[in-house]
Amino acid sequence: MSKRIFSAPPPVAPDAAPPKAAAKPAPAAAGKPDTRPMVHAATRIDTPDGPRAVETLQAGDRICCSGSDVMSLRAVERVVLARADWAYAPALWPIRVPVGTLGNHTPMRVSPGMRVLLPGEDGAFVRVADLVGIGGIARDRPMADIRYFELHLPEHALVQAEGALIESFPEGPRAVRPETPRDEARAAFATATGRPVR
């Protein structure tokens, strides 16, 4: 499992050799933490052997996706946001999804950049941050460092997590389906769940 910590880099001594250039990320991976689709630690991901906490997964493990598909993880990347980074940046805080709101059978926390498939036959593909303020979905102020995890699969897919369908990290040029704009997403959520938009 790889790890990325978002914090200020340490100072470099004058006589130190210049650091090696990091590999250039794929276009989809170039976003800031608040735009990346990630789940918070302790989120359970469905596998053929039963649900597992995301932090226990590693490359090669098989996870359950939509349509009864099973795919092997290419990588699981851990992203840590220190308190100094998120204390005055609520845009980075996890978004808490109450039980049943998105088909999840337990409370769930995801990054603001996560997109999910709404319940229903014609479920819209929406960004969770666009649903804040409806059905109890809200930004959840952390008590310590934020620990997010990215799930990398051979291609972009919908993953079963806590009973909901969330997206894997976007790999390649094609998404599982187009993202629904914010106003349409909120209206679709109200229709799918019977919760009014205020």
Using a cut of 0.85, tell me whether the model's pTM lies above it. Answer: no
Residue found under tokens 């598909």 = 69
- pLDDT computed for residue 30 by the predictor: 44
- pLDDT computed for residue 110 by the predictor: 97
Q: What's the whole-number average pLDDT of the chain? A: 84
- pLDDT computed for residue 4 by the predictor: 52
- pLDDT computed for residue 25 by the predictor: 34
> Torsions phi, psi of 4, nearest 5?
-130, 125
- pLDDT computed for residue 34 by the predictor: 79
- pLDDT computed for residue 20 by the predictor: 37
- pLDDT computed for residue 1 by the predictor: 57
The series of mean pLDDT values per 10 residues for the chain, 198 residues long, is: 45 44 36 85 97 97 94 96 90 94 94 92 88 94 93 95 95 80 92 74
